[in-house]
Amino acid sequence: MDSKIIVIAIGGNSLIEDNKNVTVSTQYAAAAKTAHHIAKLVKAGHSVVIAHGNGPQVGYILRRSEYSTKILHPVPLDSCVADTQGAIGYQLQMALDNEFTKMGLKASVATIVTQVEVDPDDPSFKNPTKPIGSFMDEETAMMHKKESGWDVVEDAGRGWRRVVPSPKPKSIIELDAVDKLINAGVIVIAGGGGGIPVVRNADGTLSGKEAVIDKDLAAALLAKHLKADYFVISTAVEKVAINFNKPNQMDLGQINLTEARRYMAEGHFAPGSMLPKVQAMVDFVETTGNVGLITDPAHIYDAIYKDAGTKIVK
């Protein structure tokens, strides 16, 4: 296969293999497993750009911030995203470099702290719905609502949670830097956690926003701008399924845009899970005419070279 540009989006949850044993070392071990499969694509001669989720990791930062409110300043959400971009990027860089060493491969990896522009008039700023952080009792939630200005909601009898806007990504501020690094043969990690949400002010300057951008939509935007040959979303299952967890469940091998839209309209994909992934794929494939793939980390290489995963074509 000729050299291709491959954008791979990996989930933040994929770095948490055991919710009862979450440490920096266990997250690195999980990152190393994914890096092994990505490194095989680099060895095959492809240009790879990696985006990643950060939901659990941002949650940990927010919890630490809540516990230390009496002695330390709070950490705004945009800074939390920046922090996780650095920490997860570091783990992926090390894991990939170690894989390259095992393979006898000389390759460079760089993480870009990535800002993503959003529309200040995006409807989500008036109707925040994205839950973040830990569960609270009602008294604590009302205190944060009054003193911190948080939007809070009761979550299905499990407690109260903070909700924040989840605006659609408009543009990637560091896109030119990503492009130059790729052209120089560097493996790039960018757009972590959907990117740091920023808005463009009237005078052209940027300001951070307390929001969370869907990482699959941001990765799709990155893949479109780079005109990637393949856009891969790595998730918890090897293939997308319709009638999921039902007796008539059917795994999907290759589908086209018409079929993908029909399955979405029929409600086969959960809104907080597979639906945004399929939506991001449809957007990418429709715009570029190139190939989208959804699979789990262990099948990233085989999704490109064999019949693993779900392939979405125009």
pLDDT at 147: 84
Question: Which stretches of the chain score pLDDT less than 50?
Answer: none
The catalytic site residues sit at 12-13, 130, 215, 277
Res 73: pLDDT: 86
Domains, the chain, with CATH or none: 5-114+186-313 (3.40.1160.10)
In SS3 terms, the chain reads as: CCCCEEEEEECHHHHCCCCCCCCHHHHHHHHHHHHHHHHHHHHCCCEEEEEECCHHHHHHHHHHHHHCCCCCCCCCHHHHHHHHHHHHHHHHHHHHHHHHHHHCCCCCEEECCCEEEECCCCHHHCCCCEEEEEEECHHHHHHHHHHCCCEEEECCCCCEEEEECCCCEEEECCHHHHHHHHHCCCEEECCHHHCEEEEECCCCCEEECCCCCCHHHHHHHHHHHCCCCEEEEECCCCCCEECCCCCCCEECCEEEHHHHHHHHHCCCCCCCCCHHHHHHHHHHHHHHCCEEEEECHHHHHHHHHCCCCEEEEC
Predicted pLDDT of residue 9: 96
Give the model confidence (pLDDT) of 86-139 as tens digits: 999 999 999 999 999 999 999 999 999 999 999 999 999 999 988 887 788 899
User: What global pTM score does this model have?
Assistant: 0.92
Which pLDDT score is estimated for 70? 83
